[in-house]
Structure 1
């Protein structure tokens, strides 16, 4: 739902191979405007879906933390019931493949604030356990603060085009490269936008600079932002929270994995 007070709260309507995230970060990648993610590079990514009657649709992204838990944004599961949602893991396509998992419990941050979109982080516990394979694996979280000016990568099924609250949903998982910026710089830029009331950006958030005419969009909420650490390991640094729809020249805002690291660990023990 990248639409919250006119804001795009990035909500919506694994993969085989030997390619890793570092190759994508070094390449030309985007979501709005669209490039398919290479199969094999995001086996931690899941699709969080809503079902009503015989209808179902992709709602948000998420990332696998361990055999039972998924990390996502609080606004993705706010006022939702576990029995109206499920998770698909192990496919980079929305229309086929992957394994479905029922949801046992939704754990929102206790201080999640819908009006100013703070503490926008949540944990989803599935029924049973994930079946790990080359298509389904957990992502490691970065405990330290993410470096500024670092290339990073987002994957998701958010709109690949967006106009007047309407968009095109991709079938294939998309990817987009960003660059981290400081919270101070982010606050300064967003103060010039119509969303000035949502700043300053706090310690529970991090920001990224968008590529020109590209950006995360509706359906990408809750999805994982990752980097390559100094050991060349793929680690998650952020969870898609909100941004200015959808390709405007303003930063995108994420929940910070570093800022909520202890909270996350306390919920998945």
Structure 2
């Protein structure tokens, strides 16, 4: 993982000409340069699976925000039907374990743009309720923006090797550090192919990763969190980046910047 986490974030090809930003990121990867998560770590992490007949595969990450709702990237669910996706919680391995949940409703942001990567956030309502246990717990969402330079953690099952097309079985972790949207925009602007998605706005945030590490295909929708006290708080949702593990910041949907939208959709669905 950590080549490119988002669908938008990580597609095999770059953005050239009139190619959507989503195609410029490797949207189905694992974190490149990451390492195995400890079993039981990131209990809020979910795997969003796509189905085709009897076959299924991991396509995106997400996080548990309560017993009925999952937070993910809009790119992961827009244009999809609820019956062609499912959610698996409670396992740090793709091939085994966990509990599967069918989906009741997919709610991507109404203003999500595949071409620019703006408003790349969505919620998924599961059928029934997610049962909490030692391996399944919700993540608390951050309401206010935090300082630049904060150390954060990304988890996911995105590609770990882009050239060899290798995906991990074990959940991967990688540390990031938040950077300013201004500095991020300035850095990304050197790549003409992604200029349609710039500048990075208040609904987004950027984080830099270690050299030769970063999000990749399959990481989209995954939770960017930071530790405060004895708990983790979610700050971002993996959205897009420049190829996998290149020397550019990765872009996330900002949880504080979209907090009101998230709450409104949860309340609307419950009403």
Q: TM-score, with normalisation over the residues of structure 2?
A: 0.89
Residue aligning to 1:205: 204
Residue 75 (str. 1) matches residue 75 (str. 2): yes
RMSD (CA atoms): 1.4
Q: Which moved more, 1:42-51 or 1:189-198?
A: 189-198
Shift of 1:228: 1.3
SS at the partner of 2:196? Answer: helix
Residue pair 1:63, 1:71 contacting (<8 A) in 2 also: yes
Residue aligning to 1:250: 248
1:172-217 Cα distance to aligned partner (Å, 9 max, x none): 0000000000000000000011312211000000000111000010
1:44-102 Cα distance to aligned partner (Å, 9 max, x none): 00000001101100010000000000000000011110000000000000001000000
Distance in 2, Cα, partners of 1:12 & 1:250: 17
Highest RCO, 1 vs 2 (Cα 8 Å, sep ≥ 6): 2
SS at the partner of 1:167? Answer: coil
SS at the partner of 1:162? Answer: coil
SS at the partner of 1:239? Answer: strand
Residue pair 1:10, 1:243 contacting (<8 A) in 2 also: no
Residue aligning to 1:264: 262
Residue aligning to 1:11: 28
Residue aligning to 1:16: none
Residue pair 2:29, 2:160 contacting (<8 A) in 1 also: no
Q: TM-score, with normalisation over the residues of structure 1?
A: 0.90
Residue aligning to 1:25: none
Residue pair 1:9, 1:241 contacting (<8 A) in 2 also: no
Distance in 2, Cα, partners of 1:180 & 1:199: 17
Distance in 1, Cα, partners of 2:263 & 2:143: 10
Residue 43 (str. 1) matches residue 43 (str. 2): yes
Q: Structure 1: any 5+ residue segments left out of the alignment?
A: 14-30
SS at the partner of 1:266? Answer: helix
SS at the partner of 2:177? Answer: strand
Structure 1 runs (4+) greater than 2 angstroms displaced: 9-13
Distance in 2, Cα, partners of 1:86 & 1:7: 26
Distance in 1, Cα, partners of 2:40 & 2:93: 12
Shift of 1:9: 4.9
Select the residue among 226, 232, 235 that pairs with 2:233. Answer: 235
Residue aligning to 1:58: 58
Residue pair 2:113, 2:119 contacting (<8 A) in 1 also: yes
